[in-house]
Chain A
Amino acid sequence: MNGKAGAVRSMFDFYVTRGRTQIQSEFQYRAATYFWMIGMLAEPIVYLVVWTTIAEQQGGSVQGITTGEFAAYYIVWTLVRNMNIVFTPYGWEWRIREGQLSAALLRPLHPLHDDLAGFAGWKPVVILLWLPVAAVLWIAFDPVLAPTLLEACVFFFAIWGAYLIRTMFMSTLGMITFWTTRVSAIFELFIAAELLLSGRLVPMPLMPDWAQDVAGFLPFQWSFYFPIESLVGDLSTGELLRGLAMQAFWIAVLTGLTLFVWRFAVRRYSAVGN
């Protein structure tokens, strides 16, 4: 019993320490982070401008979504997108091709913990640097956003849920690199599917009905559309809680999948490089 508690505590210590060192090291690269963030902003701004243009041509709204609501959607989008940046399959590819995994395997910890803690430590820095960006977008695009306290609370948990879903999804994809290290084409296919079926491109109600049905069977919308909509939209308390439950469900499924494949994958690993 004592041993179990000790293990949990040392794991907790690991996350706190790893996260804290990551925060410190990321703060050194503020300018680089800003360049990267401005590059990232182009995508939602393009979507926002296109849909605002269409809404204005049609008298102020598309499918009931007004220009102010579009602005709110895509501004919150930028925060959710920042939360969604995780260790990618390309990272796994690099890890295996360069033999970096060998060192990670020597540690008495699953490499996933390191990815999770490291990127989680990056998030507070990103959110802090994001605030002025959000302020500028707010002034430029005039969003309509009035969340309730409950919505704000759910949003806080939902962005971390989104972070976990996407980490686990990307890890699952990353496992493929144990069998072949030329997987960029497969990844791009998945990223494209995610773009269309997650709410990253447009709010889900703008998609055709059949696409929304397909999206219902996939984890994507729970890491984009749901967190954004929890703050921007008018979801009922039941819908909000159901959303969090769906996030938990997908985190469990994808974590299980990663760990299951990992058992076979790691046996295939033979260190390349040094």
Chain B
Amino acid sequence: MRAARLGWLYFKLGSLTELQYRANFFIQLIQSAVAVGTAIVVLKLVYSHTNELNGWSEPELLVVMGIQILLGGVIRMSIQPNMERVMEEVREGKLDFALTKPEDSQVLVSVREVRIWRAVDIVSGALVLAYGVNGLDRSVDAGDAALFAAMLLVGALTIYCFWLCITTGAFWIVNTWSIIELFDGVYQTGRFPVSIYPGWLRIGVTFLVPIAFAITVPAEAVTSRLEWSTVALALGFASLLFAFTRWWWRFGLRRYSGASA
């Protein structure tokens, strides 16, 4: 509860700052349109040569892409800016300012930054998703929708944990910016259901970088192909990862000695 209040406070603060730069909204709008346009062209190209990709029809793949864009918006709006700030502050020894505050350090470092204009991607992702759902053969009932929302939350949490685990690495390795590039690249694999990938890669984007849980599983909920065993696996994995992340963050903190004067 306290964490939510803190998050809301920083959200308001960050939004007020960002609202000064309204031109950024239009830049974001154009960028988002380009990204969505490209994704749709790719999709059209794929389905001009086939009717289904490993059992996924065109509207179903639109659902996957919509979720990928939407979640990408969440990551770039909140998760990534926060984590980049931690990496930066560890390197410059400025993390002290966060650590000395009388709040849970993990909560604090996870909510301080918000780039609201990047929410444009959340909206455009949702539109692509809605368009895809509209084209599905069978309708999505309330149960599917609720399961989808729940799995999307679990997925976002998993991605957040993954990011924080990597960021905590900054306590040992200073040069972590290349990891951001690495994630950006690997995140692209989420445009397609992970079932199309060969075994070694599928395991990689499921457990190493949890893209399968974040994107494919919610998409399976919408397209009614989600099995309860997958739900259990996703929940179990998310809880384990969350517990590990919490321990790992505290473990890393002990390494931090503050580099500044």
Contacts and interface: CB of A to CB of B under 8 A. Distances in A.
A8 interface: no
Nearest to B52: A57
Given A43-B188, A54-B53, A188-B34, A35 B178 contact: yes
A49 B197 contact: yes
A41 B204 CA distance: 14
Interface residues of B, number: 39
Q: What's the dominant secondary structure at chain A's contact region?
A: helix
B130 to A, nearest CB: 23
Contacts of B185: 38-43
A204 B9 CA distance: 51
Nearest to B21: A182
Given A192-B37, A201-B42, A50 B53 contact: yes
Contacts of A40: 181, 185
Interface string B171-188: 000010111011111111
Contacts, number: 95
A27 to B, nearest CB: 15
Given A32-B178, A185-B27, A201-B42, A45 B53 contact: no
B48 interface: yes
B178 A36 contact: yes
A189 interface: yes
Interface in A119-144: 140
A178 to B, nearest CB: 18
A188 B192 contact: no
Interface in A29-67: 29, 31-33, 35-36, 38-43, 45-46, 49-50, 53-54, 57-58, 62-63
Interface in B27-53: 27, 30-31, 34-35, 37-38, 41-42, 45-46, 48-50, 52-53
B27 A182 contact: yes
Contact of B38 (A43, A196, A202): A196
A107 B231 CA distance: 62
A206 interface: yes
Contact of A189 (B23, B34, B187, B201): B34
B38 A192 contact: yes
Residue of A29, A33, A54 with most chain B CB atoms under a 10 A cut-off: A54
A237 interface: no
A182 B53 contact: no
Given A185-B27, A185-B31, A54 B50 contact: yes
A36 B35 CA distance: 21
Contact of B54 (A36, A39, A53): A53
A185 to B, nearest CB: 4
Nearest to A35: B178
B31 A140 contact: no
B58 to A, nearest CB: 13
A273 interface: no
Contact of A182 (B23, B38, B42, B183): B23
Contact of A53 (B53, B179, B189): B53
A117 interface: no
B198 interface: yes
A185 B38 contact: no
A206 B49 contact: yes
Contact of B49 (A42, A62, A185): A62
Given A39-B182, A189-B30, A140 B49 contact: no
Contacts of B48: 208
A206 B198 contact: no
A195 interface: yes
28 contacts: A29-B175, A31-B175, A32-B178, A33-B178, A38-B185, A39-B184, A42-B185, A43-B185, A43-B188, A45-B201, A46-B188, A49-B192, A49-B196, A50-B53, A54-B46, A54-B50, A54-B53, A57-B52, A58-B49, A140-B200, A182-B23, A184-B27, A185-B27, A185-B34, A188-B35, A189-B34, A192-B34, A206-B45
- Top 8 closest A-B pairs, CB basis? A39-B185, A35-B178, A39-B182, A185-B30, A42-B185, A32-B178, A39-B181, A54-B50
